[in-house]
A and B are shown apart, each in its own frame.
Chain A
Amino acid sequence: MDIKKIARMVSINSLKMIFHAESGHPGGVLSSIDIILFLFMKEMKYDSKDFLIKERDRFILSKGHCAPALYAVAAEVGIIEKSRLNGLRKLDHELQGHTHRGATPWVEASTGSLGQGFSFAIGEAKGLKMQNIDNRVYVMLGDGELQEGEVWEGAMFAGHHHLENLCAVIDYNKMQSDDLNENIMGLEPLSDKWKAFNWHVIEIDGHNFDEIGKAFDKATTIRNKPTVIIAHTIKGKGVSYMEGSPAWHGSLKLSTEDLTLALLELGATEEEINGYINE
């Protein structure tokens, strides 16, 4: 199936999970799905049936509040069962509100405190390199996350230690919890910042699969420095009433009407939507 269609299905599943959980962060989930899906479908080397073997490419969702996106992608590629998805944020269920390796070992890190997943990924990249294991580490950060000082400690480390097996992706949807980045604490000139920390920088449209693919291809050819892909994305991608509005960052509850409107735009039929609501 065409990856665009699958991405829409993952978006539908993510919103369905947030609806049933009665809380979550839909805006950033929707902006990040295309890239996470591409990584798991096309880019990373791993065995979905034997996921924890040491020689695997790794992905860490440092913006841990967008866990539903990762869970829905994992279900799509067969790492977890789709039937588990509606357990998100529920007591005694493994799908924690923010990713947690203690509950779901395949998520690599425990995240939810911004900046830490990035450092954890750097540790994995350094560890693999020290052991001459030829696998890559991918890590996704939010744009607001870049305001954490720890990110720049890590950026300096990875540049200094020439971690070419590390590829960071910034889900640059321009919005954070309360407002636009530029009104909270501006990030620009963002590309220059990473260049100054000795990273190879690629800027792309984070919803264009050709550009996503070319960026990851390029990143694998870069030697002696880590790569950062600044992916320009749309918060709430695919749902017109969410797009461009920081109000849909979350954590928030989706009403039946919110979900219905959103899923119709993502291509679900009314009959399908009624089924999802009653799951």
Chain B
Amino acid sequence: MSKAPVLLGSSGDSLREACGKELTKIAPDYPNVVVLDADIAGGTGMHHFRKTFPDRFIQCGIAEQNMMAMAGGLAATGLIPVVTTFAVFMLRSIEQARLSIGYADMNVKIVASHPGLDVGPDGASAQCLEDLACYRSIPNMVVLSPCDPLEIEQATKAILDYEGPVYMRTGRSDAQRILGEDYQFEIGKAKILKNGSDITIMGCGVTTGRALEAAKILEMDGISVRIVNMSTIKPIDSAMVIKCANETKGIITVEDHNILGGLGSAVAEVLVQHNPVPMEFVGVRDSFGESGEPNELAKKYGIDYKAIIKSVHQLLERI
């Protein structure tokens, strides 16, 4: 008899796996935490939690609208529900998130795996490029997109300590560790990962690593770039955005998301009101994705490190 097939991507150091492992690790300290799943825990990293805490794992079936609104009800009994599925299905249930979680101001954590082109071969139907824009516009909702396994571990704990609704992206592909041991995530605080004086590049999720990669090459050409990790999309760290506008000549945002409504828009909203320095947006230019490996897609849709380098040159020409 052949062995059961190994599910693709169910192991490794992806953001989803790091989140699932960390949540499982800290769960004994948070006895009120329960995880809601829509038959996809193997893909979201929550299989770790299911295995260790079967009594605190709520299988909701493939029924995301009910799952989302039900989370509000669970929170109303004092539990801390963590709603988990792919980011696209968080869109399917966004009206439930709006009313039963955002408007009702319930202490629910919405943890979305499989955001952006980072999803890869499953294609456009599963590649969610709209979630940051949509969830950002829900009042009361905090929106996060941590950049590496260390930050997602810290953020997983931080969202449980925070009282109120949170939307957090994890990620599908294997994620590089890019942050130092001394890094400390805080909701609402952007962090400068590398200083520079010419241009500031602001990333979130998988794009922060690409920005660091681009910075190395740009430095060789004598261009000094500052890299800022904007893992909180909402509330945006306005002070950091203004500081970078004052201290560097222009700002570039990079995101695995539609350029409409996501990180770039959030940063632009701050800039135009305070110090409208020139800005470039690196992101998916209002299109859907397609099947392919994440690195191939990043190249084709202009969100890889080369696209960042190109946009830095474009920006410098405008200054």
Contacts and interface: CB of A to CB of B under 8 A. Distances in A.
B196 to A, nearest CB: 44
Given A110-B103, A130-B34, A157-B60, A119 B96 contact: yes
Contacts of B54: none
B74 A127 contact: yes
Given A124-B73, A127-B74, A131-B78, A115 B65 contact: yes
Interface string B74-104: 1111110100000000000001100110011
A153 to B, nearest CB: 4
A109 B73 contact: yes
Contacts of B65: 115, 119, 149-150, 153
Interface of A is mostly: helix
The range of chain B's interface size is 20 to 34
Interface stretch (A10-18, A77-85, A100-108): A100-108
B100 A112 contact: no
A168 to B, nearest CB: 13
B74 A157 contact: no
B146 interface: no
B77 A124 contact: yes
A124 B77 CA distance: 6
Nearest to A129: B77
Nearest to B70: A123
A23 to B, nearest CB: 20
A121 B76 CA distance: 10
B77 A127 contact: yes
B77 A102 contact: no
Nearest to B36: A123
The range of chain A's interface size is 20 to 34
Nearest to A123: B73
A109 B74 contact: no
A127 B73 CA distance: 8
Nearest to A128: B77
A133 B78 CA distance: 12
Contacts of B95: 113
Interface in B49-66: 55-56, 58, 60-61, 63, 65-66
Contacts of A142: none
Interface in B21-61: 34, 55-56, 58, 60-61
Nearest to A122: B70
A195 interface: no
Nearest to B103: A110
Contacts of A109: 72-73, 76, 100, 104
Contacts of A116: 69, 96, 99-100
B105 interface: yes
B71 interface: yes
B100 A110 contact: yes
A126 interface: yes
Given A120-B73, A124-B73, A127-B73, A100 B103 contact: yes
A156 interface: yes
Contacts of A122: 66, 70, 73
A102 B103 contact: yes
Nearest to A120: B73
Contact of A121 (B56, B73, B103): B73
A238 B104 CA distance: 34
A49 interface: no
A120 B70 contact: yes
Nearest to A108: B76
Interface in B161-219: none
Contacts of B81: 123
Given A113-B95, A157-B61, A54 B78 contact: yes
Contacts of A223: none
Nearest to A121: B73
B100 A119 contact: yes
B78 A127 contact: yes
A33 to B, nearest CB: 24
B77 A54 contact: yes
B49 to A, nearest CB: 15
A150 B66 CA distance: 6
A159 to B, nearest CB: 11
Contacts of B72: 109, 119-120, 123
Interface of B: 34, 55-56, 58, 60-61, 63, 65-66, 68-79, 81, 95-96, 99-100, 103-105
Interface of A: 54, 100-102, 108-113, 115-116, 118-128, 130-131, 133, 149-150, 153-154, 156-157, 160
Nearest 8 Cβ contacts at the A-B interface: A123-B73, A127-B77, A119-B69, A153-B63, A153-B66, A123-B70, A120-B73, A110-B104
